DNA sequence: TGATAGGGTGCTGCATGCAATTGACTCAAC
DNA sequence: GTTGAGTCAATTGCATGCAGCACCCTATCA
């Protein structure tokens, strides 16, 4: 889901936003960037000094991050940075695949007018056209953005508020997001082939949706998430590439 | 998931628990029981007076309930009670079905030792034996308890921490829980038949898991959730029965 | 009669103070 | 050297104060 992400970043820059929101965003970003160790205790006072706000917004943000799954409550109060096993990352991607599969199915089943797919097709075509020239840093970043938009557009087409909500909860774990492993993949040998497969899957998903093939849409979307799992598998062989995964510092290897 | 529920109730009674936790539990219970109107603004001061704690734990609880999806942030600060359309309830059950389906599949795929299924079989048998004599209020309550244990045992057997976590988020919406519509159903004509079908599906799920039939386990578990959706459909015809659904006051009819 | 401006009330956002609990460190005794 | 107890520091749980903002109500003017 890239739209909230963008809003978030904007909010981080413009100063006219509550301390609460800014603190939450900053802490989350710090967690993603690995500024804390796994298992490290996050005490309110030092954070308060570091971020220049009082303990109140810090407390609220910590509580929230715990519910998001990035922190866990310590037995005797306070919070520590959670650590995720590789299996947990694996399973998080599996869960995303299942939910995105369902989204694709519902998108096919609930389609009323073919023009509803215009946006999705545009994303697909734009991504596809980007394949021809080799991707540089800049265009790669917009490719990732398009990829997230594509995935979130399918969820929108599912017309299920609850599914959207559930999926948002899952991909709030950084390594579970649809683009999490795409960047790391680009560093791998065989990246080009994987990229081609991924694009073909995108094409097949759109094709299935526009032809009302719910079951096909579901299974292709699931398999598409498995591509992330396959990327993960290969990325694990190289520590440097592993460090390209967002939130990698939370992952126990 | 009934174990945490029990713990929660215990914690509500024993006084040696933080105000934070108790306030969260009490507010959630009040929301479920319909003590607030849909769309009603929950102000901190009145709640503070009503629950006998200061604004701080109230604030934390409200923030948390908003993230759980029971409240929504008002544009100008504060929170209002969220309202759910029938479609949202419908879709929430669909999402649960998809996740439980995946749980059943993983349970089948990841089974290592047949004895891991002992607990699940015991729940199944206990529920099945309860069918013979007509259920009274008391035994019905333990039936619901067993039903929740059965469902959560399948999730446990899936051995996926992330799936468990995701499903917990979904069924924290009261009307999405596996037992939400079972009680209401008991008031309906044709309840006995639905009950028989449900039990047969339980049997089939266990059978599929113990025979390593992942795809079958998944599709039966999905269909089992659709039984809830069918119950919902029938329950909608009668306002009195509708009021038996937990959290019904949040549902816009 | 309607619309706009102004004041007032009540709420939230945030900071901070206080007490209680926990966890660590030290010192002493076995 | 190891274990135990006692003390001290640090941290959280919670309450409350203050300021600012939003919304509502009213009054006045067009």
CB contact under 8 A, B160 and A94: yes
Asked whether residue A15 carries a pLDDT value surpassing 90, the answer given is no
Strand pairing report for B79-81 and B41-42 = antiparallel
**Residue B59 has which token pair?**
């604030």
CB contact under 8 A, B95 and A98: no
Query: Which distant-in-sequence residues (6+ apart) come within 8 Å of B138 by Cβ?
Result: none
Q: Would you say the C-beta of B18 is within 7 Å of strand D?
A: yes
pLDDT digits (tens, 9 = 90+) for B73-113: 998 889 999 999 999 999 999 999 999 999 999 999 999 99
As a whole number of angstroms, the distance between CA A45 and CA A36 comes to 15
As a whole number of angstroms, the distance between CA B249 and CA B38 comes to 7
In which residue are the tokens 């319909």 written? B34
Split at pLDDT 50, 70, 90, the class of A190 is: confident
Split at pLDDT 50, 70, 90, the class of A135 is: low
Strand pairing report for B71-73 and B79-81 = antiparallel
**Contact with chain B for residue A86, Cβ under 8 A:** no
Q: Would you say the C-beta of B55 is within 7 Å of strand D?
A: yes
In angstroms, how far is C27 C1' from B108 CA?
59
Q: Which nucleotides of D are covered by protein (CB under 7 A)?
A: 10-17, 21-23
Interface test with chain A among B21, B24, B97, B98, by most A beta carbons within 10 Å: B98
In angstroms, how far is C1 C1' from A251 CA?
69
**Residue B129 has which token pair?**
């034996």
**B209 vs chain A: nearest CA distance in angstroms?**
19
H or E segment at A71? strand A71-73
Strand partners, B73: B79
What's the confidence (pLDDT) of residue A132?
63
**A200 vs chain B: nearest CA distance in angstroms?**
25
As a whole number of angstroms, the distance between CA B110 and CA A210 comes to 35
Asked whether residue A3 carries a pLDDT value surpassing 80, the answer given is no
What's the confidence (pLDDT) of residue B134?
65
pTM: 0.91
CA distances from B229 to A157, B18, B93, B226 (A): 21, 38, 7, 5
* Segments in chain B below pLDDT 70: 1-16, 132-135
B 139-158: CB under 8 A from A: none
State the nucleotide closest to B54 in CA–C1' terms: D15
**Contact with chain B for residue A38, Cβ under 8 A:** no
Residues of chain B neighbouring A163 (CB-CB closer than 8 A): 91, 94-95
Split at pLDDT 50, 70, 90, the class of A166 is: very high
CB contact under 8 A, A160 and B99: no
Split at pLDDT 50, 70, 90, the class of A44 is: very high
Taken in order B45, B49, B53, B58, the sign of the CA dihedral is negative
Count of residues for chain A?
253
Strand pairing report for B251-252 and B41-42 = unpaired
Residues of chain B neighbouring A98 (CB-CB closer than 8 A): 98-99, 102
Q: What are φ and ψ of residue B222, in 5° steps?
A: -65, -45
H or E segment at B85? strand B84-85
Residues of chain A neighbouring B99 (CB-CB closer than 8 A): 95, 98-99
As a whole number of angstroms, the distance between CA B28 and CA B21 comes to 11
Share of chain A above pLDDT 90, in %: 77
pLDDT digits (tens, 9 = 90+) for A104-115: 999 999 999 999
Strand pairing report for B251-252 and B84-85 = parallel
As a whole number of angstroms, the distance between CA B154 and CA A87 comes to 19
Share of chain A above pLDDT 70, in %: 92
In angstroms, how far is D18 C1' from A12 CA?
27
All protein residues with a CB under 7 A from any atom of strand C: A 18-20, 53-57, 75-77; B 41-46, 55-56, 59, 77-78
What's the confidence (pLDDT) of residue A17?
77
Count of residues for chain B?
253
pLDDT digits (tens, 9 = 90+) for A206-240: 999 999 999 999 999 999 999 999 999 999 988 89
Angle at A225 between CA A219 and CA A226, to 5 degrees: 90
Closest-CA residue to B167 (of B185, B148, B187) = B148
**Contact with chain A for residue B166, Cβ under 8 A:** yes
Q: Would you say the C-beta of A72 is within 7 Å of strand D?
A: no
Kindly give the residue spans of alpha helices, DSSP state H, lying in A19-160: 19-32, 44-51, 55-68, 86-109, 118-129, 137-157
Closest-CA residue to A92 (of A19, A187, A178, A23) = A178
State the nucleotide closest to A78 in CA–C1' terms: D12
Q: Which nucleotides of C are covered by protein (CB under 7 A)?
A: 10-17, 21-23
Asked whether residue A6 carries a pLDDT value surpassing 80, the answer given is no
């Amino acid at each position: 889901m890239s739209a909230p992400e963008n809003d978030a970043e904007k909010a981080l820059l413009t100063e006219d936003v509550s301390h609460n929101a800014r603190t939450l965003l900053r802490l989350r970003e710090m967690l993603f960037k690995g500024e804390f160790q796994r298992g490290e205790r996050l005490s309110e006072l030092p954070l308060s000094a570091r971020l220049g706000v009082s303990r109140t917004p810090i407390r609220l943000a910590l509580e929230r991050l715990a519910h998001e799954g990035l922190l866990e409550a310590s037995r005797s109060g306070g919070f520590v940075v959670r650590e995720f096993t590789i299996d947990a990352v694996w399973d998080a991607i599996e869960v995303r695949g299942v939910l995105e599969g369902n989204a694709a199915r519902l998108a096919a089943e609930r389609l009323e007018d073919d023009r509803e797919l215009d946006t999705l097709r545009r994303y697909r075509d734009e991504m596809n056209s980007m394949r021809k020239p080799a991707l540089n840093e800049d265009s790669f970043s917009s490719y990732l953005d398009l990829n997230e938009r594509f995935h979130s557009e399918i969820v929108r087409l599912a017309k299920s508020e609850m599914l959207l909500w559930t999926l948002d909860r899952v991909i709030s774990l950084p390594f579970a997001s649809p683009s999490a492993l795409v960047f790391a993949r680009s560093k791998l040998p065989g990246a080009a082939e994987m990229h081609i497969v991924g694009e073909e899957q995108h094409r097949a998903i759109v094709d299935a949706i526009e032809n009302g093939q719910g079951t096909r849409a579901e299974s292709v979307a699931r398999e598409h998430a498995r591509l992330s799992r396959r990327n993960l598998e290969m990325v694990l062989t190289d520590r440097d590439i592993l460090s390209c995964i967002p939130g990698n510092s939370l992952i126990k290897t």
